[in-house]
Amino acid sequence: MNKMGYHKGMSKKFQRNIEDFVCEHCGARVSGDGYTNHCPACLYSKDVDINPGDRASECKGLMRPVSIDVKTDGYVILHQCTKCGKERKNKSAKDDSFDAVLKIATNTGR
């Protein structure tokens, strides 16, 4: 498995799953659109995929947002699993809390 959490030899093939969920970190109710992979309120995610959307990870640990990269077309959130340590980058969504993005970007969200 590489540092992005993909098994060697496996593709990054995306599987769209439309799922609603309750954030296990902050309790927010999240309506998924098939591309939703983190809570828009606190930016936490969950280690559920080996490849995006496959729901094949056995870990199921919480993925803590640890840093924000600023890109020309938005932000990229680096998540790290609190259980197994896997890291994965995800694009921010238009409905993400800008206050949460700022907290992570300034390292005050830990």
Confidence class for position 12, pLDDT limits 50, 70, 90: low
Whole-model pTM?
0.81
Please say if the pLDDT value at position 67 is more than 90: yes
Using CA atoms, how far residue 33 sits from 17, 30, 100, in Å, is 8, 10, 20
CA 65/CA 44 separation, integer angstroms: 6
Q: What is the pLDDT of residues 74-91, one digit of tens each?
A: 899 999 999 999 999 999
The reported pLDDT for the residue numbered 76 is 95
Q: Extract the runs of DSSP E, i.e. beta strands, from the chain.
A: 21-22, 29-30, 45-46, 62-71, 74-81, 87-91
Mean per-residue pLDDT, 42-46? 97
